[in-house]
Amino acid sequence: MRIVFVTETWWPSTDGVVTRLTATVRELKKMGHELMIIAPRGGEPFFEGIPVRDVPNVSVGFIYGGKPWGMPLPRIGHYIREFDADVVHVVNPFVIGWGGVLSAVSQGRPLVASYHTNIAQYAEFYHLGFTKPAIWACLRALHNRADLNLATSETVRQELIREGIKNVRVWARGVDLQLFHPSRRSEAMRRRLTDGHPERMIALSVGRIALEKGLDRLTALFAANTNLHLAFVGDGPARKDLTQLFRGTPTTFVGTLHGEDLACAYASADVFVFPSTTDTLGLVLLEAMASGLPIIAAESQPTHELTDQSGAGLLFRADKPETIGERVYELVHSARGEELSRRARHEAERWGWRVPTVELVNWYQELLGEQRGSTA
């Protein structure tokens, strides 16, 4: 098939959406499909041989930390027509997504839309909570033009249905099981994560450093754990504020890591902490689990969905952040850590990227079959 992805986020930005899309296009390329990516300007014109077409972007400092948004220009339709796409897949449609959606519909091409980010909930963290009804109206208008909508978890699927979005299925989770592996544990990385104190217990946080991630809750780690060192891997608009908040604590802001360095950071830590209640899945949780890292996460429906059956982690109440320190203490001062580590890797081994990509291809083929049947 000839598949076009129109995405709100792409390299050089890094987040769970970029990680998932990167893994997906790699798998699709291995399967022999022809691909094109349309994204906001800023990245390279090719990704591992796959053409990347861009559009100018615009950003507003007080909206989502100044994230660049690609403009929904007519050239998007030109790119799609020139490539002669069999399927158009819009990823997290909101701004550039309008260009992808309207072009696919006007050209009569099968359209898939996937929902990855709770934009409406994030608006509250940027003093824009009053815009939530308008955001959901925009999302309904976009997603209900698609032939198929995809959610990252059953919890999110139910939320989309409640908000009036139709034809929603769950797109199975995935993680790179070769890259993220317990064998990558490294004493040198432990020294890097702790500013030269590898003997300390390391609590690791990976992801965008932003208000909506609830990272301030992690200040509660230290009261009950005197030998703990917290390491933040990632960057974002709240880094300056978080650096000030954690001043005087054994905390390292490592910055953004990729590839083997990132995998090594996961495997070299002792526990993964995830204080967010706004993520639709939390891909970093899967990466931590694949690395054999026990997880302690804020209680939410997606984290329940991930941990309840697997037993791969412990949950704490976000409205009582002091309980995260208690959970870490419980983990360290009992025999549960090794068991949770084993369960984490065992659960992750079910979620290689091949399975969800085959699932996606089957959906594409189903839509193409329906279209051909309707025109026969």
SS3 213: helix
**Is residue 128 located within the same domain as residue 255?**
no
- The residue segments making up the domain with residue 9 are 2-174+353-375
On the question of pLDDT at 69 being above 90, the answer is no
E-strand spans in the chain? 2-7, 34-40, 46-47, 50-55, 57-58, 69-70, 87-91, 111-115, 148-151, 168-170, 201-206, 228-233, 251-255, 271-274, 295-298, 313-316
**Is residue 343 located within the same domain as residue 359?**
no
Residue range 206-220, pLDDT digits in tens: 998 988 899 999 999
Residue range 246-276, pLDDT digits in tens: 999 999 999 999 999 999 999 999 999 999 9
**Is residue 23 located within the same domain as residue 130?**
yes
179-208: b or e for each residue (b if 16 or more CB lie within 10 Å)? bbbbebbbeebbebbbeeebebbbbbbbbb
Residue range 323-365, pLDDT digits in tens: 999 989 888 777 788 888 899 999 899 889 999 999 999 999 9
pTM score of the predicted model: 0.84
**Is residue 169 located within the same domain as residue 209?**
no
pLDDT of residue 171: 95
44 Cβ neighbours under 8 A, 6+ residues apart: 11, 52
Least confident stretch, 51-65, 80-94, 225-239: 51-65
On the question of pLDDT at 88 being above 90, the answer is yes
**Is residue 191 located within the same domain as residue 291?**
yes
**Is residue 15 located within the same domain as residue 149?**
yes
**Is residue 362 located within the same domain as residue 272?**
no
**Is residue 38 located within the same domain as residue 102?**
yes
Place of tokens 């200040």: 219
**Is residue 284 located within the same domain as residue 364?**
no
Q: What is the CATH number of the domain that holds 329?
A: 3.40.50.2000
More confident site: 128 or 349: 349
Work out how many domains the chain is built from and give that number: 2
Residue range 226-246, pLDDT digits in tens: 899 999 999 998 999 999 999
Whether 305 contacts 154, CB under 8 Å: yes
